[in-house]
Structures are given as structure tokens and as C-alpha cells.
């Protein structure tokens, strides 16, 4: 199993939080989220290679202690789907039968839970995909596929539905996984609030917890001031 983690340049990440966070805060959040995911991935057994698909220059230094690779984006083919497609084709060409895509903004990402999902996938059908949807059931936070290039990258609006349709056309077995940890990403301010609501039951890095809490408290204070 090869794992691919697509990562935006930190200066371009989390733009949907621009109304709540300053640019420097969004950069800090993106960096902490990536650090959380790759540190957990380093603990997962059964993974042959982890590739960070990104042109973020600081990732080389972040990935080095774990032996992870960084595959820079192709400037002639920009965008998330192009980056994922390129990385998947590279893994398959290098002999990977199973390939997983893990998003880099999962604050509650847990190695033990992911390893369990991975084991079930590896024990599954010859042609299959495993999908962990976001908490709203629309996006795709984790996708595992056998063969690795079974499905094209379809990230965008309602990607979870699009992947299920594409898999059905390939008569592939589809496994939908509900995950208390992996279904939480951070795209909108409501996602931050949702993570903090369940954080007491899961491992959330202390620095990340403190930062998210500060932002929620600041937002509440600003709302109160506007209403005063």
C-alpha cells in the first residue's frame, strides 16, 4: 500500500477560513495539520511508501525524519486532481497494487484507527475502494483503492458520491467507513467548532487544541461585541 497526501502550499491553504483567520494564522494551521497527519502516518504498519504531493518548500524538511517523499506539483498541470493523478500513476508504475489518498487537514487523524481501516481494505476484494467521507457525507477525506488506479481523481463538490458512482461503473466493491476521527476535516469555521466538541473523546495535539480554542473564543467575543 502506498499513501499519497496532497498538500497545498501553506500560503494558499485554508482560504475558506479567510473570514475568520488572518493569513499568518491560516499558514500556521495548515502546517500543524500536516505535521499531525504525517506524524501519525509514520506509526502505521502495512504502508510501503508515503508521498507528499506538493510544492510547499518546507515539506522536504518536515518529511525527512520519517523517510517520506515529496513529489512537487507539475506547473503545467495545476490543481488537486492533477497532483493526485500524477502521484497515483507514479505509485502504480512502481508496483503498488493498493494506493490510498489521505487529506492533510485531519486534526484527529489516528494511526491506530487508520491502520484498522487499512487492514480491512487489504483483506478485501480484488477490485474495491474504501471511502471515509467527511462529517457531512459529501467530501472524501480518505480513499483507498485496489488496483491503485481504479478510479480517476474526482475531488470537488460531492466527491464521495462521485466516487461511489465511478466505482459502481467499474463493478468494484465499495466500502463506506464511518470514522469518529477521520471524518473531521477543517475547511470551515463550523468544522473547528465540531472538532472541539468531540476532542475530549479523541487525541487532539495540545498545540492544535489550544489554537483552535483561542480562535473559537475570539469569534464568540467578536460576536458579543457586535451585538452589544
Sequence ranges of the domains in the chain: 2-227
pLDDT beyond 70 at 150: yes
Shortest CA distance to 47 belongs to which of 87, 6, 1?
A: 1
Q: What is the pLDDT of residue 213?
A: 95
CATH topology classification for 2-227: Spore Coat Polysaccharide Biosynthesis Protein SpsA; Chain A (3.90.550)
Helices (H) and strands (E) in the chain, counts: 7, 7
pTM: 0.95
Task: Note the pLDDT of residue 228.
Answer: 61
Higher-pLDDT residue of 195 and 201 is 195
pLDDT on residue 221: 83
Judge contact between 73 and 53, C-beta under 8 A. Answer: yes
* Number of CB atoms found within 10 A of residue 16's CB: 13
Q: Do residues 150 and 127 make contact, with C-beta atoms less than 8 angstroms apart?
A: yes
Amino acid at each position: 500500500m502506498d499513501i499519497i497526501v496532497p498538500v497545498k502550499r501553506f500560503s494558499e491553504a485554508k482560504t475558506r477560513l479567510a473570514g475568520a483567520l488572518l493569513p499568518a494564522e491560516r499558514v500556521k494551521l495548515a502546517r500543524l495539520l500536516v505535521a499531525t497527519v504525517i506524524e501519525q502516518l509514520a506509526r502505521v504498519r502495512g504502508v510501503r511508501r508515503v508521498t507528499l504531493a506538493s510544492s510547499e518548500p518546507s515539506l522536504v524538511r518536515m518529511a525527512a525524519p520519517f523517510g517520506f517523499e515529496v513529489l512537487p506539483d507539475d506547473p503545467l498541470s495545476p490543481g488537486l486532481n492533477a497532483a493526485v493523478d500524477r502521484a497515483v500513476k507514479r505509485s502504480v508504475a512502481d508496483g503498488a497494487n493498493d494506493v490510498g489518498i489521505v487529506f492533510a487537514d485531519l486534526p484527529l487523524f489516528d494511526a491506530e484507527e487508520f491502520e484498522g481501516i487499512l487492514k480491512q481494505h487489504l483483506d478485501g476484494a480484488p477490485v474495491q475502494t474504501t471511502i471515509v467521507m467527511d462529517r457531512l457525507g459529501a467530501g472524501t477525506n480518505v480513499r483507498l483503492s485496489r488496483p491503485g488506479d481504479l478510479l480517476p481523481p474526482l475531488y470537488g463538490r460531492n466527491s464521495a458520491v462521485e466516487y461511489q458512482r465511478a466505482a459502481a461503473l467499474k463493478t468494484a466493491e465499495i466500502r463506506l467507513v464511518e470514522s469518529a476521527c477521520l471524518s473531521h476535516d477543517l475547511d470551515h469555521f463550523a468544522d473547528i467548532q465540531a472538532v472541539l466538541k468531540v476532542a475530549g473523546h479523541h487525541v487532539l495535539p495540545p498545540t492544535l487544541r489550544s489554537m483552535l480554542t483561542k480562535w473559537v473564543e475570539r469569534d464568540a467575543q467578536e460576536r458579543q461585541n457586535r451585538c452589544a
